[in-house]
Structure 1
Amino acid sequence: MILYPAIDLKDGQAVRLLRGEMEAATVFNDDPAAQARSFVEAGCEWLHLVDLNGAFAGRPVNGEAVEAILQAIDVPTQLGGGIRDMATIEGWLGRGLGRVILGTVAVEDPDLVREAARTFPGQVAVGIDARGGKVATRGWAEETDVEATDLARRFEDAGVAALIYTDIDRDGAMGGPNVPATEALARAVSIPVIASGGVSSLDDLRALKATGVVAGAISGRALYDGAIDLGAALDVCRG
């Protein structure tokens, strides 16, 4: 299981939100590139980035901060937030991003996801953000009637590299991930599933790993707050 330290970008800073509320942002680092370097120096093999402003704007907003991170590290990085057309996908992958995460367009324009996955094999992931099992889009501001599992199954044959499943009500709340829902999704599809939202202890990581089907876990606030020791977390994930 791969651990993905999260760097959420708002106004050029590394922040964490509580349950996706932009007004509930806590700034953890004014220098996201330095934060990225510290994660990599600790042994992380991947990083997870989110352009929070971009998710609401529908276009990249924190591009300068993302580029600074890409220049500062040498491990693959995945990015979500405001990536909603092929030009943006091509632009980010051309700058050295390892993987783009498509969330809103997975609901609104699934053909784009399929086209991108065909064009860039292994470099397109789908972000499934759910509240009460129903998918939310546009920075989690709009709720849909689409079930998370139903959305995942739509891309079963599309060549998508991974699904990032976020339980919005758990995100940033330090209350633990929704292990049963994450495991159920991972068992419902053959696409690797990465857990996000609420991962706040080594026991959370052990529980996800114990499912035997969850491919990765994203953690943010717990790493910044020191609730999870990064070295110990990497040991748990690597088994």
Structure 2
Amino acid sequence: MILYPAIDLKDGQAVRLVHGDMEQTTVFNDNPAAQALSFVDAGCEWLHLVDLNGAFEGEPVNAAPVEAILSQTNVPAQLGGGIRDMATIERWLDKGLARVILGTVAVENPDLVRQAARAFPGKVAVGLDARNGFVATRGWAEETDIQVVDLAKKFEDAGIAAIIYTDIMRDGAMKGPNIDATAALARAVDIPVIASGGVSSMADLTALKDTGVISGAISGRALYDGAIDLSAALAALKS
């Protein structure tokens, strides 16, 4: 199971939110590239980046810090937030991003997801963000009546690289991930599923790994707060 350290970008800074609320922001580093380098130095194999402003505005906002991270690190990175058309997908991949994460458009324009996955094999993931099992879009500000598993199944034959499943009510709350829902999703589809939201301890990582069906986990606040030692966690997950 791959551990993805998370760098959430708001107004050019590395931050964490609680339950996706832009008003509940904690700034952890005003130099996101330096933060990324510290994760790389600890041994991470991937980076997970989110343009929070972009998720709300529907277009990239934090391009400068993302580009700085890409230019200064040597591990693959995936990015979500504000990526809603093919031109933006192409632009990010041309800049060296390993994988784009499509969230809102997976609901509003699923054909774009399929088109992108065909055009860029292995480089397109779908972000499914859920509140009480139902998908939320546009920076989690809008709720739908679409259940996570139902939407995921629609992309079974699309060739997407992964699904990032975030339980919004767990995100940033340090209360543990929704293991049951994440594992149920992973068992319902053949697409690799990455857990996100609430991953706050080594015990959480072990529990996710022990399901045998979850391919990755994203953690942010726990790494910044020191609740998870990144180097130790990476070593433990490889053993």
> What TM-score does the superposition give when structure 2 sets the normalisation length?
0.99
Q: 1:237 offset after TM fit, Å? A: 2.1
Q: How many residue pairs get matched? A: 239
Q: Quick one: percent identity of the two aligned structures?
A: 77
Matched to 2:196, the amino acid is S
Distance 1:109 1:218 in 2: 25
Q: TM-score, normalised by structure 1?
A: 0.99
Unaligned runs of 5+ in 1: none
Match of 1:98 in 2: 98
**Match of residue 183 from structure 2:** 183
Name the counterpart of 2:20.
Answer: 20
Deviation track 1:181-207 (CA, whole Å, cap 9, x = no partner) reads 000000000000000000000000000
Structure 1 segment 136-215 matched on structure 2, within 5 A: 136-215=136-215
Spell out the pairing of 1:47-58 with structure 2 (5 A cutoff): 47-58=47-58
Looking at structure 2, the residues matched to 233 and 219 of structure 1 have their Cα atoms a distance apart, in angstroms, of: 11
**1:147-194 C-alpha deviation (Å, 9 max, x unpaired):** 000010000000000000000000000000000000000000000000
CA RMSD of aligned residues (A): 0.4
TM-superposed CA distance for 1:232, in Å, is 1.5
2:3 is paired with a residue of what secondary structure? strand
Report the alpha carbon displacement of residue 233 of structure 1 after superposing the two structures with TM: 1.1
CA distance in 2, matches of 1:238, 1:69: 25
Secondary structure of 2:215's match? strand
State the secondary structure of the residue aligned to 1:170.
Answer: coil
Distance 2:122 2:177 in 1: 26
Q: Output the CA distance in 2 between the equivalents of 1:157 and 1:203.
A: 34
Query: Displacement of 1:58 after TM fit?
Result: 0.1
Question: What is the letter of the counterpart of residue 115 of structure 1?
Answer: Q
Question: Using the alignment, how far apart are the partners of 2:232 and 2:16 within structure 1?
Answer: 22
Structure 2 residue ranges without an equivalent (≥5): none
* Correspondence for 1:41: 41
Q: Displaced runs of 4+ in structure 1, greater than 4 A?
A: none
Distance (Å, rounded) in 1 between the aligned partners of 2:47 and 2:218: 9
The AA in structure 2 aligned to 1:26 is T
Q: Distance in 1 between matches of 2:121 and 2:150?
A: 23
Q: Distance in 1 between matches of 2:216 and 2:155?
A: 19
Partner SS state of residue 126, structure 2: strand
One-letter amino acid of the structure 1 residue matched with residue 164 of structure 2? I
Tell me, yes or no, if the aligned pair for 1:9 and 1:15 is still in contact at 8 Å: yes
